[in-house]
Amino acid sequence: MKFHIFTLFPKLFESPLEEGVIGRALKSGLVQININNIRDHSVDRHKTVDDYPFGGGPGMLLKPEPIFESVQSNIEQNRIKRDSPLILLSPQGRQFNQNIAKELSLHEEISLICGRYEGFDERIRCNLITDEISIGDFVLSGGEIPAMAIVDSVSRLLPGVINSSDSAKNDSFYDGLLQYPQYTRPADYQGMKVPEILLSGNHAEIEKWRRRESLKKTKLRRPDLISSLSLSEEERAFLENL
């Protein structure tokens, strides 16, 4: 899968994407990242990318021309497919979650536009992009960290990116639940013991225990997730009795 990133700070992506799961996915070619410096498409000799808001107000806004031209030149040169998602990163967008990560992972490529300063000229929002995504109800200084979060979470869902194909499926949110509690050696650390069932070797019972623990944790910590789950009668009764 290919990610096209539009940013004023290309260097911010160098180290975070070199390491770990994403670093390996890049090396193996399962993931490609094409970083575009928005400033390269500034239309004046001072390489201006921002300007004062009409009507006054604090801060500077990203001008439309460098962003439109940066995206359009990639499309014209067939570096970006015309019908692929073009996503603006913004606290005003729909809130990112695992379902959106799954939805994006089905595309061959997506583009992510990172804002800075006070944000974007509204014409970018209304006339260029196909989607607007926020990573939460808080304001960051730029769209680079949200872009990295999206690249990371979407890449994890691509076949072959993480070692065991099952491991993304066990993650929280994959099937709408929080993940069950996990333990590793030692089985007894200073009197804090691992639940007996996990040492039993009975895989059917372990699966049952994990499912129940997931349901329990989700009900206690994220009751808002429960209503969209499809549960068996037994699971419903279990939750009601908690």
Report the interface residues with ligand SAM, using CB under 6 A.
Answer: 89-92, 114-116, 118-120, 134-136, 138-143, 146
Which residue, 33 or 62, has its beta carbon nearer to ligand SAM? 62
The residue (of 21 and 60) whose beta carbon lies closer to ligand SAM is 60
Minimum CB distance to ligand SAM, residue 144 (Å): 8
Cβ of residue 139: shortest distance to ligand SAM, in angstroms? 5
Active site residue 64: no
Active site annotation includes 118: yes
Between residues 139 and 192, which has the closer beta carbon with respect to ligand SAM? 139
Q: Among the options 118, 131, 132, 175, which is catalytic?
A: 118
The amino acid present at 49, given as its one-letter code, is V
Residues in contact with 200: Cβ distance below 8 Å, sequence separation at least 6, in sequence order? 206
210 is an active site residue: no
- Cα-Cα-Cα-Cα dihedral of 147, 149, 155, 157, to 10°? -130
CB nearer to ligand SAM: give 92 or 165: 92
Task: Give the SS3 label for residue 14.
Answer: coil
- Closest-CA residue to 118 (of 53, 48, 42, 61): 61
| Among 109, 171, 175, 235, the one annotated catalytic | 171
Q: Least Å distance between CB 230 and ligand SAM?
A: 30
Task: Give the C-alpha separation, 210 to 187, whole Å.
Answer: 17
Annotated active-site residue 58? The verdict is no
Residue 128's Cβ-count burial label (10 Å; 0-12, 13-18, 19+) is: middle
DSSP3 helix / strand / coil % (the chain, rounded to 5): 40, 15, 45
C-alpha–C-alpha distance, residues 117 and 135, integer Å: 17
CB of 56 to ligand SAM, least distance (A): 15
Which positions ≥6 away from 9 have C-beta within 8 Å? 114, 116, 142, 144
Contact between residue 215 and residue 191 where contact means Cβ atoms under 8 Å apart: no
**Which residue type sits at 100?**
I
- Among the listed residues 66, 121, 152, 156, the single catalytic one is 156
At closest approach, how far in Å is the CB of 15 from ligand SAM?
Answer: 20
Which is closer to ligand SAM, CB of 58 or CB of 201?
Answer: 58
Catalytic residues: 91, 118, 156, 171
